[in-house]
Chain A
């Protein structure tokens, strides 16, 4: 692993440096540089400090570990690869991601996992260890969003308006979701064992990375939310 001090490097030079080496890279003193690892398809990048917005946009296979907090728009339109954030994450992580994984130990901001898709062998998975902000999974069209609510605060597991416009994929919330309002076009129910089996490997992987006991995490009710239709707007129009 090559050590790279990001101090005083702007995003363009930093990305050039990252691309110029063929080894995995450990970045230190990262302080708000945007677009780190945009479109990167190989190697592992370990980040110490706080990366700026649009970290790992269009990520195409690389692995990113952030030993701290990440800001907005992480993994925008990600195609494949893995992003592990050991702190909190900002707004709109995983916008329109169609593959790969984003695991966040802490909380997520607004609009996590919106427009998430899935395609053939690509099945994106986002796991938020803490709580999620409003508009979680808006327009979700595929993939899996899991929120575990493991942080110790009195917030609901998800804030307002989850699943608005959802028309594909699945969402799992580690809660019975009493008092959480879902839109009319989705169905929320307690996940049965068979359903939980389909996401168990991801949750186990998440727990392995962040040091949780998977058995303990899984030993409680999860609510699974699925859309009722792939075509939510079908009856809305008349030809003119």
Chain B
């Protein structure tokens, strides 16, 4: 075999004194790292196959295993980093486009971590959420610009269709195909229990999950997989996917190997055939064309569903959002460049798009300046990692947040970033029946409910300490935020003052 120059990225450290040769690690590893050698009664490892998913470590009954970064390293070079060199070897070996998963791992600034939240002291006292009612419920959709009265003087309370959420967090789009049936079931059942929504992604809606319709956002993307009348009518809202933060401007394709019987049925495409979802919608070349798709969906569902338009956060996002807000869409979802993916070309994931914090602040300001903020609700995603990120997003102008990586972590994902292989040892990003059953949807639901119940409590605590008892009063309340270590331009875009000001 010719030399491929690839250093194993990880090292399997097995404590031979603790190892009882139970071979759990061997059975658990879909990548085939571990192997028992009867001749000599030893467990051996092929570290070239290891992705550091930690499955074997977590399941080893005697805690005999550790996966460590391989210390064998190329000579240090600040310009030619080891990864950069290995990527060149991989491409020279194969001629392939580098393919990665999950969000951008590079050390770009995380603005959430440079923003601090205000608290009430002495005057405008804080509110104790354990004692006083705190409202975290939000409604997403078009709002009237002013209070309208009927002929008899009563206030007109009829609103365009809205999504009602018990807390301003939703599970963002992950298709059945990119993640497993059990992962989808966990998300659907958790969304129902929490009074929020999950999102089908562009892979259609499995027939078993139509019953969670009022907690489902159904997606329409350029490939139109699984889109038909019943699907459009099944959800609480319809989302048109124009872009995704992890791969702005490009499409996706689910390889035919992942299109088994069930995925084929849900996407309504032949088994084993690539599911190609190209970069643009080939019928949308303008805001006017987008408006046409928005209204064709509204016509088909008799104006009963809010329509969301999801775009990636890119350089001109404020102008783009302004166009969308005039397209008839009810909600704009913006996905930042750190958002996750089941597979994206590495170069695109790591180099295209902008941070969601800046995009959100710019869009909110632009829509306010133009007097059209009420036309739409804003939902932001692309690495919302905690309740404090949610609070900061709301204060920067979001109506709600989309989370996906956080939700997958709750389901047991260890962020090994190899979803594209389809061999997820945690049963999440896979269609292999043996792997899928490792994720128990009951447990999955419980863990998701736990996560967001905890976040909800934290959100209430943070609202309380600001003296705010309704999440609506926090939205766009940038006085509650201060920046640390940010330059003037960044503060200007975020629309916040520096700490101490």
A residues engaging B (CB < 8 A)?
Answer: 11-12, 15, 19, 34-35, 38-39, 41, 53-54, 57-58, 60, 72-73, 76-77, 79, 91-92, 95-96, 98, 111, 114-115, 117-119, 122, 135, 138-139, 141-142, 165, 167-168, 230-240
Nearest chain A residue, comparing its CB with the CB of B288: A53
Partner of A233, one of B220, B274, B421: B274
With an 8 Å Cβ cutoff, the count of chain B residues facing the other chain is 47
Nearest chain A residue, comparing its CB with the CB of B264: A119
CB distance from A132 to the nearest CB of B (A): 15
Bound Cα distance from A95 to B221, whole angstroms: 12
Known: A119-B269, A232-B274, A238-B91. A15 touches B282 (CB 8 A): no
Bound Cα distance from A109 to B257, whole angstroms: 35
Q: Which residues of A contact B301 (CB under 8 A)?
A: 39
Known: A73-B292, A95-B283, A138-B282. A38 touches B97 (CB 8 A): no
Known: A54-B296, A111-B282. A96 touches B224 (CB 8 A): yes
Given A58-B229, A76-B283; 5 other pairs, CB 8 A cutoff:
A41-B229, A79-B228, A115-B278, A168-B270, A238-B90
Partner of B224, one of A53, A73, A77, A240: A77
Are B274 and A96 within 8 A (Cβ)? no
| 8 Å CB interface, B305-360 against A | 345-346
Most A CB contacts (10 A, CB to CB) among B93, B253, B301 go to: B253
Are B90 and A39 within 8 A (Cβ)? no
Nearest chain A residue, comparing its CB with the CB of B347: A240
CB distance from B209 to the nearest CB of A (A): 19
Are B99 and A11 within 8 A (Cβ)? no
Bound Cα distance from A208 to B273, whole angstroms: 35
B168 at the interface (CB under 8 A from A): no
Q: Which residues of A contact B232 (CB under 8 A)?
A: 39, 58
Are B224 and A119 within 8 A (Cβ)? no
Q: Which residues of B contact A11 (CB under 8 A)?
A: 295, 299
Are A92 and B229 within 8 A (Cβ)? no
Are A239 and B421 within 8 A (Cβ)? yes
Q: Which residues of B contact A238 (CB under 8 A)?
A: 90-91, 93-94, 96-99
Are B276 and A114 within 8 A (Cβ)? no
| 8 Å CB interface, B415-441 against A | 418, 420-421
B residues engaging A (CB < 8 A)?
Answer: 87, 90-91, 93-94, 96-100, 220, 222-224, 227-229, 232, 253, 255-257, 264, 268-270, 272-274, 276, 278, 282-283, 292-293, 295-296, 299-303, 345-346, 418, 420-421
Are B299 and A35 within 8 A (Cβ)? yes
Nearest chain B residue, comparing its CB with the CB of A227: B273
The 5 closest A-B pairs by CB, nearest first: A238-B96, A39-B300, A96-B224, A240-B98, A38-B299
Q: Which residues of A contact B98 (CB under 8 A)?
A: 237-238, 240
Bound Cα distance from A165 to B98, whole angstroms: 21
CB distance from B246 to the nearest CB of A (A): 14
Q: Which residues of A contact B94 (CB under 8 A)?
A: 238
Bound Cα distance from A117 to B421, whole angstroms: 26
Nearest chain A residue, comparing its CB with the CB of B417: A240
Nearest chain A residue, comparing its CB with the CB of B301: A39
Q: Which residues of A contact B223 (CB under 8 A)?
A: 96, 115
Q: Which residues of A contact B282 (CB under 8 A)?
A: 92, 95, 111, 114-115, 135, 138
Bound Cα distance from A91 to B284, whole angstroms: 11
Are B228 and A58 within 8 A (Cβ)? yes
Nearest chain A residue, comparing its CB with the CB of B96: A238
Partner of A77, one of B227, B255, B272: B227
Are B274 and A53 within 8 A (Cβ)? no
CB distance from A194 to the nearest CB of B (A): 22
Are A142 and B299 within 8 A (Cβ)? no
Q: Which residues of A contact B303 (CB under 8 A)?
A: 12
Partner of B300, one of A57, A73, A230, A231: A57
Are A35 and B278 within 8 A (Cβ)? no
Are A230 and B272 within 8 A (Cβ)? yes
Are B255 and A96 within 8 A (Cβ)? no
Nearest chain A residue, comparing its CB with the CB of B100: A240
Bound Cα distance from A76 to B296, whole angstroms: 9
Bound Cα distance from A231 to B256, whole angstroms: 6
Known: A58-B229, A92-B283. A240 touches B296 (CB 8 A): no
Q: Which residues of A contact B222 (CB under 8 A)?
A: 115
Known: A58-B229, A230-B270. A167 touches B276 (CB 8 A): yes
Q: Which residues of B contact A95 (CB under 8 A)?
A: 224, 282-283
Q: Which residues of A contact B255 (CB under 8 A)?
A: 231, 233-234
Bound Cα distance from A139 to B253, whole angstroms: 12
29 contacts between A and B (CB under 8 A): A11-B295, A35-B300, A38-B296, A38-B299, A38-B300, A39-B300, A39-B301, A58-B227, A73-B283, A73-B292, A76-B283, A76-B296, A77-B227, A96-B224, A96-B227, A114-B282, A115-B223, A119-B264, A142-B270, A142-B273, A231-B256, A231-B273, A232-B274, A233-B253, A233-B276, A237-B98, A237-B420, A238-B99, A239-B418
